[in-house]
Amino acid sequence: MVENEVAPSWRAAVTELMELLRRTPVLSPETHQREQLSSNEIIELRTVDGVVRRDHESRALNVTGERFADEMDRLVRRAGFRPDVAPAVITRLTRNARPTFVFDEAESARLQEQAAAAVEPVLITYREGDVLIRRGQVLEERTRVVLVREQRVHIAAGPRMPVWLGRAGMTGGVLVVTMAMGAYLWFFYPRSLREPQKIVAVAAATALVTVIALWGAAANPGLLMIVAFAPTVFLAVVFAIAFDQRLAIAFAALQGLLVCAALGQTPAIYLVALVGVAAAAWRLREIRNRKAILSAGAVTAGAMAVALLFAALIDRPLAGAGVSQGVAIRGVAIDALQVGIGAMFVAFLALGLLPVIERAFDVSTGMTLIELRDPKHPLLRELAQRAPGTYTHSITVATLVEAAADAIGADGLHAYVGSLYHDIGKMNKPEYFVENQAGGLNRHNKLSPAMSLLVIVGHVKDGVELAREYNLPRSIRSYIETHHGTTLVEYFYQRARERADEASGDTPAEFGYRYPGPKPRTKEEAILMLCDAVESASRALGEPTPSRIEGLVQTLATKRLMDGQFDECDLTLRELHIIEQTVIKSLNSIYHARIAYPSGGSGESGNKQQRKPTQPASDVAAAKSERVG
């Protein structure tokens, strides 16, 4: 009897709940997310019995969402279930819940295409003379499409000759700029033309950044100030690191000219690119830490942003022509922000690609050189342990070289590091070199001059092999190869002549007792050659007075000059004189007079001056044979 009374109400509640569930779709998490991201606000619901209903997408529930349990509670109570059975119904609906509707991708695509085909096209007619866009207006996508189509129609309807002439002019401009770059290298950097690796790297870098700038501007016109000019600034940064500031400005300015011409930019915008190029090159004269690159990026960003503001005053109307002053100013501010972001992006990119740039152009930045000058470098530590005398000699020579290089405006840091490693080959046979001998028997006394020559000259080849083994930069290896040039090993040459005279034999050829070379090819390498010889010879002076040191330096400098050792570097006589004076000053500070303090019971007055003790005769001879010769 009770069942007969309850059944109708139960069936009514269930029927109402089913209807509510049909109007409140429960979706899987993926389908629910798709609907949330969709631009359509109305969804179409189809049931198995063919009923089609349209409803707002906000009514859809995520089967795993936080609202699902609360909505089921609301629907159950709205359906009319009694309070005592409602919790059981809610538990049944929420436990192991499954979606009530699934997404039909194929049918949705078909309906979308059908709806799109049913839309009547809107035809807008433009007559000759109509203004499509005014100067200073914001370019919308619809207007851009119209402009592109109008240009195509204009080109297709007009004569072909102007089109071909325009393309020929652009091609000729590219050729002229390319020839200008080649001529610049030919006249100002002739040595680079003998290094194919650098020429290929220069051409590849220039072409790559140009393609990136043009492609980026075409693909993202809204980011023109970043994608078009950041590559030009990046090219300036790369060439400032790989070569110098002058070449960086010249090449980046020419590349920027190509980009501006291809994109139809005004001279004022080109000046913005020039300001960025000049600022980047100016700040990257020397890179001794990461802060230098980031600082250069910040300065470049500020300079380009300010330059763009001034360019906007020249090129852009700030009011009128259908655009408000606020919109115009906002557009200029956005462009200024873009160039600033582009410059900072270039700085971070250059910092990350610094090892790649060094390897591609075979250069060493200040950061790399500072790492190499660290006394804890494995090669320097090994040199100090196996050949302590050579290590001390190298540090002294490096100090002389750095002072002389700075005096003539050369790269003092690079020269210092190269000097530290110039004699690393001696660690293979340290006992055959005078600075490592403890005053005992000179091993060369038991060797023939020819055999001694092989040992002495061999330290150059051994040094190059060690440098390659420890992955020293090529520019540092060059110091090892050239620090003796093709000079004559005089001591052993004279011994060979004496033995030949005693044996009434043929006089040995001078050529056979020379180092194999090559001769110094840079100012820094020439300075090292002179300082290496001077430091060795000065230790052989019995009384290193200022006058003797001056005479020694001038004699050795003249000797190297007359021997043609400086013929392949661009060292001038004026610079050579400055180097001589700097080295003389440095040596005088090293060999200055010292006060002899009285010792207990010696009875000496203590007012005598004491100088560095002289070397034994045998050591002097060995020093001259390897060093001065």
Closest C-alpha among 100, 109, 110 to residue 55: 100
Q: Which of 65, 91, 117 is the last residue of a domain?
A: 117
Q: Would you say 347 and 300 are in contact if contact means Cβ atoms under 8 Å apart?
A: yes
Provide the domain limits for residue 539: 368-593+603-628
Q: Do residues 299 and 278 both lie within one domain?
A: yes
pLDDT at 478: 94
- Domain annotation covers residue 137: no
Q: Would you say 405 and 445 are in contact if contact means Cβ atoms under 8 Å apart?
A: no
CA torsion 259-262-268-269 (nearest 10°) is -50
Q: Which of 75, 93, 117 is the last residue of a domain?
A: 117
- Residue 396's CATH number: 1.10.3210
- Strands 61-62 and 26-27, how do they pair? parallel
* Count of all residues that appear for the chain in the document: 629
pLDDT at 508: 80
- Domain annotation covers residue 136: no
Q: Do residues 314 and 437 both lie within one domain?
A: no
pLDDT at 317: 62
Written as one letter, the residue type at 333 is A
What is the rounded CA–CA span in Å between residue 147 and residue 145? Answer: 5
* Residue 628 DSSP label: I
pLDDT averages per 10-residue partition of the chain, 629 residues: 59 82 81 73 71 64 81 84 82 82 80 79 77 72 81 75 77 84 84 79 90 88 85 93 89 90 87 93 86 92 92 70 65 88 93 89 88 93 93 95 95 95 93 79 79 90 94 93 92 85 76 90 95 91 88 95 92 95 93 64 41 39 38
Element (H, E) at 54: strand 52-56
In sign, the C-alpha dihedral spanning 431, 435, 437, 441 is positive
Q: Do residues 446 and 344 both lie within one domain?
A: no
Q: Would you say 262 and 282 are in contact if contact means Cβ atoms under 8 Å apart?
A: no
- Domain annotation covers residue 141: no
pLDDT at 51: 64
Q: Do residues 473 and 615 both lie within one domain?
A: yes
- Residue 312's CATH number: 1.10.1760
Backbone φ and ψ for 218, nearest 5 degrees, come out as -70, -35
DSSP string, 91-111: HHHHTT---S----HHHHHHH
Q: Do residues 318 and 396 both lie within one domain?
A: no
Q: Structural domain tally of the chain? A: 3
For 483-538, how does the pLDDT look when each residue is reduced to its tens digit (9 = 90+)?
999 999 888 888 888 888 777 767 788 888 999 989 999 999 999 999 999 999 99
What is the rounded CA–CA span in Å between residue 298 and residue 343? Answer: 7
C-alpha Rg value of the chain to the nearest Å: 41
What is the rounded CA–CA span in Å between residue 351 and residue 296? Answer: 11
- Strands 609-610 and 52-56, how do they pair? unpaired
Is residue 138 helix, strand or coil? coil
Q: Do residues 47 and 26 both lie within one domain?
A: yes
Q: Do residues 193 and 101 both lie within one domain?
A: no
pLDDT at 36: 73
Supply 171's token pair. 């091609």
What is the rounded CA–CA span in Å between residue 45 and residue 22? Answer: 8
- Domain annotation covers residue 167: no
- Domain annotation covers residue 98: yes
Q: Do residues 355 and 392 both lie within one domain?
A: no
Supply 39's token pair. 């631009």
Supply 56's token pair. 């707002």
First-to-last alpha carbon distance for the chain, in angstroms, is: 129
Q: Do residues 271 and 210 both lie within one domain?
A: yes
Closest C-alpha among 316, 190, 617 to residue 439: 617
- Domain annotation covers residue 156: no
Q: Do residues 349 and 377 both lie within one domain?
A: no
pLDDT at 240: 92
Closest C-alpha among 575, 563, 469 to residue 522: 575
DSSP string, 182-213: HHHHHHH-GGGGG-HHHHHHHHHHHHHHHHHH
CA torsion 36-39-40-46 (nearest 10°) is -50
Instruction: Evaluate if pTM is beyond 0.85.
Output: no
Q: Do residues 99 and 17 both lie within one domain?
A: yes
- Domain annotation covers residue 161: no
Q: Would you say 423 and 609 are in contact if contact means Cβ atoms under 8 Å apart?
A: no
Q: Which of 102, 117, 132 is the last residue of a domain?
A: 117
For 246-261, how does the pLDDT look when each residue is reduced to its tens digit (9 = 90+)?
999 999 999 999 898 8
- Domain annotation covers residue 97: yes
Supply 444's token pair. 């060369």
Q: Would you say 290 and 366 are in contact if contact means Cβ atoms under 8 Å apart?
A: no
Q: Do residues 474 and 548 both lie within one domain?
A: yes
